[in-house]
Amino acid sequence: MPPPVLTNPQRNHLIDLLCACDAIADQGTRELIVRQLRDGIRQGIARHPALRADVANIVQRCVQYQGGLEELVQAIDGFEGDSFRMQALVSWLRSEVKLTIDLPLPAPAPVEPSDPTASSPAPRGNPLTQPPTSPPPPGPVRQRWALLVGINEYNEPSYATLRYCVNDVRALATQLADGGYTVVAMHDELDPKSHRFPSRENVEAELRSICDSAAHDDFILVFFACHGLLRDGQRWLALQNTRARVPQSALALAEVEAILRASKANRCLLLLDACHVGIEIGRSMTDPDFLRHSFELAEGFAVLAASTSQQIAREWHAVQHGVFSYYLLDGLEGAADRANKGFVTVDDLKNHVIDGLRRWNVEQGMPLQEPNARIEGIGDMIVVDRRP
């Protein structure tokens, strides 16, 4: 008999195990991992950014894994960590997966005595011996959410001032609100005392709030226009209060993705206009082809970034926007809908932005800025729908 597939609750339990680092038996390893972390780690809120990125890396592998428990244990053995911290997490996860996955099952529904055809309730026990539960099939988008973050000026003196990130957020907020989105716009021209001021703490709080509020058939769009950083091979987003010498004051890109993936929403789009080197969306990965049918039922996770880690995402003074953001806005306005369908999909947007940036590079005689995309899922998700 083939091993059962891990259900979503079981995968979530793996995430809980990963984040409950104080359950590690070995005192030395526990002190290494939990040092400088707060009690909130039991809820998965690790305050040490390097640990958060490592946790997100392993969590992503577990969430994406489609095999059974035995295969997962074997896969964990193959995880490679480039730090002692990662190796400790992997070692702990391996033992926890083998020993402690025992999720409570809901009580079986009572069987009416008058129903002679009713089967006996399934015995309780290890849920991994039970048939997997399937997630509900996707339906049309119920609600659209957008978190938009733009930062021109930073507390950190070594970060250059940007000119048009706030313009990008304001224009995108208007456009998406007209398209039916519930929009949370955060930029540094707001009152610093506002909960929408783009500090690291506020941005994470708003992202988690949206992800906690979203339902299964919702669409979440997240946009960042800011500096991006590359540290020890990991990608980070510089927020208004990020300081160069305080690594935890930046937001790990891996953490943003992990938070989005942990939401109930089955449609997520992450847009990155990072005006500095450092945002790279694995060119070694093969993007799956979009299926061209069932637009309304399409679901998945997509990332569209302004440049690779070795390029600079540029601003366009003539239009007072980032170049990537300009073509993004133009595409969402309808220019990307070349087939006149009445709506713009992720694939439409990707093609429009890539084509526009390639033309701009040639016309302006500027060094190459090549946007790149990673798209997962089935179907071509609708980003803006203007059909009557």
- Out of 100, 132, 154, a domain closes at 100
Q: Are residues 33 and 176 in the same domain?
A: no
pLDDT confidence band for 268 (50 / 70 / 90):
very high
- Out of 100, 134, 161, a domain closes at 100
Q: Which two tokens stand for residue 116?
A: 């002679």
Q: What is the pLDDT of the chain when averaged over all its residues?
A: 68
Residue 134 placed within a domain? no
Q: Which two tokens stand for residue 288?
A: 């799956």
- Domain span at residue 151 reads 144-385
Q: Is 72 helix (H, G, I), strand (E, B) or coil?
A: helix
Q: Which residues contact 142 (CB under 8 A, 6 or more apart)?
A: 215, 217, 218
Q: Are residues 73 and 183 in the same domain?
A: no
Taking the mean position of all CA atoms in its chain, how far away is CA 173? Answer: 20
Average pLDDT over residues 22-34: 45
Other CB atoms within a 10 A radius of the CB of residue 101 amount to 17
Q: How many domains does the chain have?
A: 2
Q: What is the pTM assigned to this prediction?
A: 0.60
pLDDT confidence band for 358 (50 / 70 / 90):
confident
Q: Are residues 95 and 182 in the same domain?
A: no
Q: Are residues 165 and 37 in the same domain?
A: no
Of the listed ranges 107-111, 307-311, 367-371, the least confidently predicted one is: 107-111
Q: Which of 217, 286, 262, 236 is nearest to 15 (CA)?
A: 262
Per-residue pLDDT reduced to its tens digit, 251-264: 988 888 889 988 99
Residue 139 placed within a domain? no
pLDDT confidence band for 59 (50 / 70 / 90):
low
Q: Which two tokens stand for residue 184?
A: 């949370």
CA distances from 352 to 149, 285, 315, 316, 359 (A): 22, 21, 18, 17, 11
Q: Which residues contact 282 (CB under 8 A, 6 or more apart)?
A: 374
How long, in residues, is the chain? 388
Q: Are residues 94 and 149 in the same domain?
A: no
| CA dist., res. 202 & res. 205, Å (int) | 5
Percent of the chain with pLDDT over 70: 52
Residue 119 placed within a domain? no
- Out of 45, 66, 100, a domain closes at 100
Q: Are residues 326 and 213 in the same domain?
A: yes
Q: Are residues 222 and 86 in the same domain?
A: no
Highest-scoring range by mean pLDDT, 27-41, 59-73, 183-197, 368-382: 183-197
Average pLDDT over residues 97-107: 37
| CA dist., res. 280 & res. 230, Å (int) | 9
Q: Are residues 159 and 90 in the same domain?
A: no
pLDDT confidence band for 9 (50 / 70 / 90):
low
pLDDT confidence band for 88 (50 / 70 / 90):
low
Residue type, 242: T
Phi-psi region of 36 (alpha: psi -120 to 50; beta: other; left: phi over 0): left
Q: What CATH number is associated with residue 282?
A: 3.40.50.1460
Q: Are residues 43 and 176 in the same domain?
A: no
